[in-house]
């Protein structure tokens, strides 16, 4: 919403403040000023000059030398402009003055352009005549300006007069951000009311008196509203003997400042009233209306209708139409029809000011892809009282501007209007909510300024109809707060019962995950939750994979963002690919984000949102590096027994199961991570074909941990177990092991047969190749025994070692000599 | 030659040899040669049997004195040499301390998370619990329970991603307020960080997925003044002790009265610069007193309880605080970007 300060001042004449003061004060009472600009910015020393004489420049074909009377003197100006003649009155910048921009309309320099006296091809020039572009505007706003050349004033312009003043540029345009609840402030009158209350100055609403002729409206038009649910009020008035001509300069100035191009008196009046009252109006040529009858009804599915922008549009039964006795003539609240549009030959005009159903207009405009100034206002839901006020204002202007005659009477088809809202006045409650001590008297004064009436007997506030946003005590408290001043409300801290500040347990585990990942060199990435359905093919997932059952967004930004992810790998691989593509070396990333697993289709309950801790890396490091990160994390969150070097004897243990069957991972380098028999994640090297799908030309390792499973098992409890008092005994065994036997299987046997005195076993060598027979590998463990309560005897150890050696034999493992 | 002279001679010879020795090995040799089992002084002691009995104590004393003297000098020479050797070693081991460090290459947190942890730290300190809510949400929690009824234009303004008529991707973390209130445990002091979604095309200042931090306090006698005080404290903690705050009236369906909070520009201190577009102020968050309709729908009596709520855009804070000029960087995960935080 844009408007000139001068227009606001028309209703608040006592307003005296600088632009900045106005901006600050209005913003602090809730009418936020986004920015403001003076229309005469960088226009200095520019007066009306009259060209007395034009001569050719002796040395330049395209230049002329003019003698220009600027009021107190006649100065010589050299110009190349093609459109001036002797006697013309033109804007002249005097020596040392400034203009806003260049004549070509290119972006205007911040500080304008200074004009100095000088010589052009040897001839003295003491100023410059300017175009509308140099004055900082354009032909859109000043249609009378020539396409190329100097702006020419009408003959009655005073020589020596102030040009910015004459062009209505001694003004400031404010741009406001109006909140959606304040429909009334999408109008000059609404903002003026706020300004009056902000500065505590009186507000003068326009006095509307319509001088009518002797004709009666019933002879011209009748109105029938067939769908009153979509049109709660329809006001119609008729004006005759219409004379189309330019509107007066004062009206043009105000429209221009609001960013509206002046066209002719009739169009300008409807636009002016729309700005002033916030009520869109429509003007029909009455002679095009069949049967002199307006019917307001829903369209039929598939109806075609040509709007006045000459587009043919397809209607449906939820779109409200304005029709005459035979045909549709306009889409209600959105745009009129080509068949009833006003031409310069119009004789009789039918004005419509109606109140349409806001949500319906919003949906219709959206379906039609046709949002107009009018629909933008209607969709907010207008006050039906305003329709009558606005249509009368328009008729008054028709008559006052000599645009035509107003036919007596108004056709008004109106549903019963809501009664004015009444709210109990509870000053103590208001102060309790605000934490203030505003007096009852001060509150009443604020209400008076806002035209909220107080009825003492009922102790009720009567809310004006244009304030549809005021419904309860809290709303009234906001009015008090706004005009008492948000800045004057004290600042305190809540008292009352103390509460414990903390992270939820889940968030603590996630924080630990971040810490560990970062200690291990992984940086945190963030990726979108939605992705393309094509990712499943990229990840080589079979067509029947349950991961392909995704939640689909009905209105996505595009296919690439259309499904809620059910696996976190795509985001990680895409991020790694970005880095690989940019030749970043040794990249390690982690991500914490949800996957979304639906319980059923169609969705009837919220999906399972599972936080995934995803790690990915390429460059230095291998499978075991990644496994190390996973185990560091498990250690940190109390998932014990993660590595063979740490204590046995605790029951819980992480198991890596190579039978994980992940198609996107290297078949020989992947494992499910199981804890207490439950899969809590997986890790592995990414399958080379998947790497290829992501254009990554190197080995990539990933790990994905399902955080809900981990949160269930995690603990931050730790118990000191003492430091061993008795010496340990170590035995190294070197074995030749069939290739298919896993270290994990050997360790499980060691654990089982080692009994109580087995403390740990540590793999210290693994080797395949020369000297080892085909199909076998050499594996060496250092086994440590210790008792908690005594020094072990040789016999204790050898007894256990015997069991272990038997176990090895049972597995087909030979000791190496 | 008498015993005394002989001892003198041995001693002189030993001291001379010690004096002229240049290595610890040599000193050891000297020790063995003179004081060892087969050393010269030991030999003198062994020859004591030839000395007259009454002379023996005196000669013995002389031998011991000579031994002590040699030992002392040896010891002194040894420590001198050890020191010299250590000095030489230290000198030879001098390194170029300006050579590159061997870093452990720890990873880096995402700027969003750094900003979030700052915010969490501040509110945890004020007794707030950090909770979460679902990202796929029902229409009820995202809109209706927040006083945004079915046909309200605010639903359009927020450009919601829908799954179907009932389910959507939450457009705001405000639904978490309702979830918390419905638990029925009062008072409430909570913040709820989380991911939200709006159908904005990706560009330098928009992303279809971003984060908010919701805040909610419900108790008896909570006032707008409490809201101002709490958020002013928050702003000072987050942006520095000098930070000033400004509350402007605004509109949100689920709060009344509502406000937006600006903070004095932390770049120019409020004088006006390019960063704050010359105004001296930067818009940070939306807030307000919880609307009585919202309280009522969540089963809380607005006559007895009141509260305030606020919502901060996490990316906005991160972009401002770390002067990141393009939002897309936050979701690209280029390691060269992440390493800067």
Mean pLDDT of chain A: 93
pLDDT(A650) > 60: no
Q: What b/e string do you get for A84-98 counting C-beta neighbours within 10 Å, with b at 16 or more?
A: beeebbbbbbbeebb
Q: Is the pLDDT of residue A588 over 50?
A: yes
Please check whether residue A718 lies inside any domain of the structure: no
Contacts of B120 in chain A (CB under 8 A): 503
Cα separation, A129 vs A149, whole angstroms:
9
Q: pLDDT tens for residues B38-97?
A: 888 888 778 777 777 888 888 888 888 888 888 998 899 999 989 998 999 999 999 999
What pLDDT score does A641 carry? 63
For residues A40-68, average pLDDT = 93
Length of chain A: 817
B110 contact residues in A (CB cutoff 8 A): 523-526
List the end-to-end C-alpha distance of chain A, in Å, as a whole number: 92
User: pLDDT tens digit string along A388-434?
Assistant: 999 999 999 999 999 999 999 999 999 998 889 999 999 999 999 99
Looking at domain B111-338, its CATH superfamily turns out to be Bira Bifunctional Protein; Domain 2 (3.30.930.10)
Closest CA to A506 of A263, A707, A763: A707
What pLDDT, on a 0 to 100 scale, did the predictor assign at position A648? 47
Q: What is the pTM of this model?
A: 0.87
Backbone angles phi, psi at B256, to 5 degrees: -165, 120
Which residues of A are less than 8 Å from B251 in CB distance? 179-182, 469
Asked whether the predicted pLDDT for residue A645 surpasses 50, the reply is no
- Calculate the average pLDDT of chain B: 91
Residue A497 lies in a domain: no
Identity of the residue in A179, A494, A506 whose CB atom sits nearest the CB atom of B217: A494
pLDDT category of residue A569 using cuts at 50, 70 and 90: very high
Q: If 0-12 CB within 10 Å is exposed, 13-18 middle and 19+ buried, where does residue B72 land? A: exposed
Is residue A755 located within the same domain as residue A692? no
Same domain, A176 and A160: no
pLDDT in tens, A799-811: 999 999 999 999 9
**pLDDT at residue number A688:** 97
DSSP string, A212-239: EEEEEGGGT-EEEES-TTTEEEEEEEEE
Q: Is the pLDDT of residue B115 over 80?
A: yes
Contact A493 B120 (CB under 8 A): no
* pLDDT confidence bin for B158, thresholds 50/70/90: low
Structure tokens at B22: 């240049």
To the nearest whole angstrom, how far is the Cα of B236 from the nearest Cα of chain A? 13
Residue A226 sits in the same domain as residue A138: no
Contact A606 B199 (CB under 8 A): no
Residue A651 has pLDDT above 70, yes or no: no
% residues pLDDT > 90 (chain A): 82
pLDDT in tens, A537-555: 999 999 999 999 999 999 9
The count of structural domains within chain A is 6
Domain of A451: which CATH number? 3.30.56.10
Those residues with Cβ within 8 angstroms of residue A144's Cβ, 6 or more apart along the chain or in another chain: none
User: Are the Cβ atoms of B109 and A555 closer than 8 angstroms?
Assistant: no
Contacts of A594 in chain B (CB under 8 A): 135, 195
| Residue A207 placed within a domain | no
Domain stop point among A437, A457, A488: A488
For A499, nearest residue in chain B (alpha carbons): B127
Position A436 pLDDT exceeds 90: yes
Q: Is residue A204 part of a domain?
A: no
For residues A575 and A695, membership in a common domain is answered with yes
Considering only CB atoms, B107 lies closest to which of A182, A521, A609, namely A521
Neighbouring CB atoms inside 10 A of A19's CB total 15
Contact A679, A658 (CB under 8 A): no
Where are the domains positioned within chain B?
3-92, 111-338
pLDDT score for A104: 75
Tell me, yes or no, whether A267 and A188 share the same domain.
Answer: no
Same domain membership, residue A658 and residue A762: no
What is the mean pLDDT of the segment spanning B294-310?
Answer: 96
Give yes or no for residue A759 having a pLDDT over 80.
yes
Q: What is the pLDDT of residues B271-298, one digit of tens each?
A: 888 888 888 899 999 999 999 999 999 9
Same domain, A194 and A233: no
Pairing of strands A502-503, B129-130: parallel
Token couple for A424: 């109990």
DSSP notation for A66-81: EEEE-SS-EEEEEE--
pLDDT at A286 over 90: yes
The answer to whether B154 contacts A180, with C-beta atoms less than 8 Å apart, is yes
Q: CA distances (Å), B223 to each of A486, A790, A794, B226, B304, in order?
A: 13, 69, 77, 5, 13
pLDDT above 60: residue A232: yes
Q: Is the predicted pLDDT of residue A574 greater than 50, yes or no? A: yes
**Minimum distance, in Å, between the CA of residue B96 and any CA atom of chain A:** 27
What is the extent of the structural domain holding A387?
212-414
- Asked if A28 and B208 come within 8 Å (Cβ–Cβ), the reply is no
Question: Is the pLDDT at A151 greater than 70, yes or no?
Answer: yes
> Is A272 inside a domain boundary?
yes
Evaluate if residue A467 carries a pLDDT over 90: yes
In a domain, residue A356? The reply is: yes
Chain A residue at shortest CA distance from B336: A584
Q: Which residues of A touch B248 (CB under 8 A)?
A: 27-28, 30, 32, 486
Residues A34 and A55 in one domain: no
A182 and A153 within one domain: no
| Together in a domain, A687 and A807 | no
pLDDT tens figures, B250-264 = 999 999 999 999 999
Does residue A649 have a pLDDT over 70? no
Split at pLDDT 50, 70, 90, the class of A365 is: very high
ipTM of the complex: 0.88
Domain final residue pick, A488, A517, A533: A488
User: In this structure, are A553 and A618 located in the same domain?
Assistant: yes
Beta-carbon separation of A578 and B217 below 8 A? no
Flag if B220 and A496 touch (Cβ within 8 Å): yes
Distances (CA, A) of A641 to A634, A637, A680, A681: 9, 12, 15, 16
Q: What is the pLDDT of residue A147?
A: 85
E strand or H helix at B189, and its extent? Answer: strand B188-197
């Amino acid at each position: 919403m844009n408007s000139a300060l001068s227009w606001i001042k028309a209703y608040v004449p006592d307003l005296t403040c600088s632009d900045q003061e106005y901006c600050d004060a209005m913003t602090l009472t809730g009418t936020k000023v986004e920015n403001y600009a003076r229309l005469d910015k960088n226009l200095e020393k520019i007066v009306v000059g009259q060209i007395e004489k034009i001569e050719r420049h002796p040395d330049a074909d395209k230049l002329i030398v003019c003698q220009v009377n600027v009021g107190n003197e006649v100065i010589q100006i050299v110009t190349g402009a093609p459109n001036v003649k002797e006697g013309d009155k033109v804007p002249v910048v005097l020596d040392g003055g400034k203009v806003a921009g260049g004549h070509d309309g290119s972006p205007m320099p911040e500080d304008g352009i200074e004009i100095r006296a000088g010589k052009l091809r040897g001839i003295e020039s003491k100023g410059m005549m300017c175009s509308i572009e140099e004055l900082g505007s354009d032909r859109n706003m000043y249609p009378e300006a020539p396409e190329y050349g100097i702006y020419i004033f009408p003959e009655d312009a005073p020589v020596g007069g102030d040009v910015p003043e004459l062009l209505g540029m001694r003004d400031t345009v404010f741009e406001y951000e109006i909140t959606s609840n304040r429909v009334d402030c999408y109008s000059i009158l609404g903002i003026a009311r706020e300004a009056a209350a902000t500065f505590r100055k009186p507000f003068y609403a326009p006095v509307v008196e319509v001088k009518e002729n002797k004709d009666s409206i019933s002879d011209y038009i009748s109105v029938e509203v067939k769908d009153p649910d979509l049109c709660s009020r329809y006001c119609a008035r008729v004006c005759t003997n219409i004379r189309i001509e330019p509107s007066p300069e004062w009206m043009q100035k105000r429209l221009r400042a609001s960013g509206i191009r002046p066209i002719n008196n009739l169009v300008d009046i409807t636009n002016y009233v729309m700005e002033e009252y916030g009520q869109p109006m429509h003007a029909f040529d009455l002679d095009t209306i069949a049967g002199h009858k307006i019917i307001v009804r829903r369209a039929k599915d598939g109806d075609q209708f040509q709007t006045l922008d000459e587009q043919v549009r397809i209607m449906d039964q939820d779109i409200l139409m304005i029709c005459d006795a035979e045909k549709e003539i306009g889409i209600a609240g959105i745009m009129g029809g080509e068949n009833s549009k006003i031409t310069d030959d119009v004789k009789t005009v039918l004005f419509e000011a109606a109140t349409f159903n806001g949500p319906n207009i919003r949906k219709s405009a959206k379906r039609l892809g046709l949002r107009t100034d009018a629909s933008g206002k209607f969709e907010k839901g207008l006050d039906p009282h305003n329709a009558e006020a606005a249509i009368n204002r328009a008729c008054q202007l028709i008559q006052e501007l000599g645009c035509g005659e107003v036919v007596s009477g108004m056709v008004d088809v109106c549903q019963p209007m809501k009664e004015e809202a009444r709210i109990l006045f509870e000053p103590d409650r208001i102060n309790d909510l605000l934490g203030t001590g505003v007096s009852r008297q001060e509150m009443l004064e604020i209400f008076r300024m806002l035209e909220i009436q107080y009825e003492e007997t009922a102790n009720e506030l009567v809310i004006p109809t244009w304030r549809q946003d005021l419904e309860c005590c809290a709303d009234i408290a906001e009015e008090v707060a706004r005009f008492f001043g948000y800045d004057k409300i004290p600042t305190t801290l809540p008292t009352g019962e103390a509460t414990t500040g903390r992270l939820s347990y889940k968030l603590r585990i996630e924080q630990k995950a971040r810490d560990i990942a970062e200690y291990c060199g992984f940086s945190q990435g963030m990726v979108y939750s939605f992705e393309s359905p094509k990712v499943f093919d990229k990840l080589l997932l079979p067509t029947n994979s349950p991961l392909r059952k995704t939640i689909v967004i009905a209105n996505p930004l595009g296919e690439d963002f259309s499904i809620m992810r059910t696996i976190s790998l795509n985001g990680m691989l895409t991020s790694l690919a970005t880095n690989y593509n940019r030749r970043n070396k040794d990249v390690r990333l982690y991500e914490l984000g949800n996957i979304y697993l639906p319980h059923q289709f169609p969705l009837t309950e919220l999906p399972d949102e599972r936080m995934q801790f995803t790690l990915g890396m390429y460059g230095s490091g291998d499978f075991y590096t990644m496994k190390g990160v996973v185990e560091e994390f498990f250690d940190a969150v109390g998932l014990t027994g993660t590595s063979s070097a740490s204590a046995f004897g605790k029951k819980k243990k992480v198991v890596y199961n190579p039978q994980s069957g992940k198609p996107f991972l290297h078949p020989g380098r992947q494992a499910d991570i199981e804890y207490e028999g439950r899969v809590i994640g997986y890790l592995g090297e990414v399958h080379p074909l998947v790497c290829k799908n992501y254009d990554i030309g190197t080995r990539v390792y990933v790990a994905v941990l399902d955080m809900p499973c981990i949160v269930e098992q995690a603990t931050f409890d730790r118990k000191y177990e003492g430091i061993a008092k008795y010496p340990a005994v170590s035995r190294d065994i070197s074995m030749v092991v069939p290739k298919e036997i896993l270290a994990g299987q050997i360790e499980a046997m060691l654990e089982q047969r080692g009994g109580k005195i087995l403390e740990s076993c540590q793999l210290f060598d693994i080797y395949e190749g020369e000297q080892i027979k085909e199909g076998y590998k050499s594996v060496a463990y250092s086994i440590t025994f210790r008792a908690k309560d005594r020094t072990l005897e040789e016999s204790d150890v050898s007894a256990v070692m015997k069991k272990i050696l038997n176990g090895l034999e049972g597995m087909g493992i030979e000791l190496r000599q | 030659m008498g015993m005394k002279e002989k001892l003198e001679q041995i001693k002189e010879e030993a001291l001379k040899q010690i004096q002229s020795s240049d290595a610890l090995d040599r000193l050891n040799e000297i020790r063995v040669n003179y004081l060892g089992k087969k050393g010269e002084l030991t030999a003198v002691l062994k020859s004591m049997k030839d000395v007259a009995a009454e002379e023996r104590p005196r000669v013995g004393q002389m031998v011991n004195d000579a031994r002590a003297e040699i030992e002392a000098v040896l010891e002194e020479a040894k420590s001198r040499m050890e020191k010299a050797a250590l000095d030489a070693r230290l000198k030879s081991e001098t390194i170029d301390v300006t050579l590159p460090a061997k870093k452990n290459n720890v990873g880096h947190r995402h700027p969003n998370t750094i900003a979030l942890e700052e915010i969490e730290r501040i509110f945890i300190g004020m007794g707030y619990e950090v909770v979460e809510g679902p990202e796929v949400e029902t229409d009820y929690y995202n809109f209706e329970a927040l006083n945004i009824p079915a046909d309200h234009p605010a639903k359009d303004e927020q450009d919601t991603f829908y799954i179907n008529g009932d389910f959507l991707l939450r457009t705001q973390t405000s639904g978490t307020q309702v979830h918390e209130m419905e638990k029925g445990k009062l008072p409430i002091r909570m913040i709820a960080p989380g991911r939200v979604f709006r159908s904005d095309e990706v560009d330098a200042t928009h992303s279809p997925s971003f984060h908010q931090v919701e805040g909610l306090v419900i108790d008896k006698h909570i006032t707008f003044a409490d809201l101002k005080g709490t958020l002013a404290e928050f702003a000072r903690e987050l942006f520095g002790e000098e930070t000033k705050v400004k509350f402007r009236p605004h509109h949100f369906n689920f709060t009344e009265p509502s406000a937006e909070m600006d903070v004095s520009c932390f770049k120019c201190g409020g004088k006006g610069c390019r960063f704050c577009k010359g105004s001296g102020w930067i818009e940070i968050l939306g807030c307000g007193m919880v609307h009585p309709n919202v309280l009522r729908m969540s089963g809380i009596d607005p006559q007895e309880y009141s509260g305030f709520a606020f919502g901060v855009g996490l990316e906005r804070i991160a972009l401002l605080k770390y002067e990141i000029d393009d939002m897309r960087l936050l979701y690209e995960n280029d390691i060269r970007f992440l390493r800067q935080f």
